[in-house]
Amino acid sequence: MAISFKDRVVIVTGAGAGLGRCHALEFARRGAKVVVNDLGGSVDGAGGSSEAALKVVEEIKALGAEAIANGASVSDRAGAESIINDAINKWGRVDVVVNNAGILRDKSFAKMELNDFELVLKVHLLGSAYVTKAAWPHFIKQSYGRVVMTTSSSGLYGNFGQSNYGAAKLGLVGLMNTLKIEGAKANIRINTIAPVAATRMTENLGIPEEVFKQLKPELISPAVVYLASEDAPSGTIIEAGAGYFAKAQIVESKGVKIGQTASVEDFAAAFEKITDMTDAKPHANGSEIIMKILSP
Ligand code: NAI
């Protein structure tokens, strides 16, 4: 059955270009009313203009759907609130937040200015928290909410020159892990997308043109839209690119109980067994670890 967003109000941050634009268009095609947020700056976060968001609003209107533009920065608390307020003022509700806005300030850790470290954390991690926080009371009140975070393989696995970006991106997984627990009772579900796509963010990475062409940004949207739908799971990380989709997960090895006399030498002797990932398992929440530690 077709997945519909009729009567749903969807926020997509950073939707003036790249992936966010594709997500916004796909939600609109499925009947959603969309707030197209975009600061409209450069890839390193400098500058800003509401033109990018306005253009996508026009594209959505051409599809016969409803949309409004918001030019605020997600990393500004009042700006983040304004995105949600615009949705409430226009349509009286907000159902979905897709935290997609992002910038890069790549440099090796040795050369990185701490200002660039902070700015990247502010946009990705704090920006996503600010927008989600502003939507949260509405989600609780209506017992419905869907959030999609945007992480990256650089956060999940690391990438040279992206210590700031990687830290911010994995921080979003941590945010999801707790929000999925806190939101469960109110039917709020949080998921995370890890995209690989041809956008201005990836155009200077030296990816061969033939490959770049396959990494269509619109091929990420099916996963994002599903992860924001009524039947979405919660707490799931999906990798997506060029029509490939997979689940990523943090798992823990079976472990070894050395016991109350554990010494450095004991740990060293058991290291191989401790780090053996055969039968590794994920955990639903942090308390499961305590149960595992204390179980006989
Ligand atoms: P993009 O640069 O085309 O899009 C990002 C958008 O966010 C831009 O339109 C920009 O104006 C907007 N933006 C930046 N700072 C903002 C702020 N403070 N407030 C509001 N809007 C802001 O890049 P792309 O590739 O579409 O990136 C989208 C998301 O996907 C980002 O979070 C990025 O980190 C993530 N991502 C992208 C990958 C890729 O392969 N393209 C890989 C992994 C993650």
Q: Is residue 47 part of a domain?
A: yes
Q: In this structure, are 272 and 135 located in the same domain?
A: no
Q: How many domains does the chain have?
A: 2
Q: In this structure, are 29 and 112 located in the same domain?
A: yes
pLDDT the model gives residue 48: 85
Q: Is residue 44 part of a domain?
A: yes
pLDDT the model gives residue 204: 85
Q: For position 181, which CATH number holds? A: 3.40.50.720
Q: Is residue 274 part of a domain?
A: yes
Using one digit for the tens of pLDDT, what is the confidence trace for 233-252? 999 999 999 999 999 999 99
Neighbours of 251 (CB within 10 A): 10
Closest Cα to atom 33 of ligand 1: 102
Give the span between the Cα atoms of 269 and 131, in whole angstroms: 48
Q: Which two tokens stand for residue 137?
A: 């009371």
pLDDT the model gives residue 1: 78
The H or E element spanning position 48 is: none
Q: In this structure, are 290 and 195 located in the same domain?
A: no
Q: In this structure, are 74 and 191 located in the same domain?
A: yes
Percentage of the chain modeled with pLDDT above 70? 100
Neighbours of 203 (CB within 10 A): 11
- Indicate which atom in ligand 1 lies nearest the CA of residue 42: 11
pLDDT the model gives residue 272: 98
> Of 248, 266, 285, which residue constitutes the final position of a domain?
248
Structural domain boundaries, residue 273:
251-296
Q: What is the average pLDDT score of the chain? A: 97
Q: In this structure, are 161 and 294 located in the same domain?
A: no
Q: Is 191 in the pocket of ligand 1 (CB under 6 A)?
A: no
Q: Is residue 1 part of a domain?
A: no
Using one digit for the tens of pLDDT, what is the confidence trace for 26-53? 999 999 999 999 999 899 998 888 899 9
Closest Cα to atom 23 of ligand 1: 201
> Is the confidence at residue 205, as pLDDT, over 90?
no
Using one digit for the tens of pLDDT, what is the confidence trace for 174-192? 999 999 999 999 999 999 9
Percentage of the chain modeled with pLDDT above 90? 95
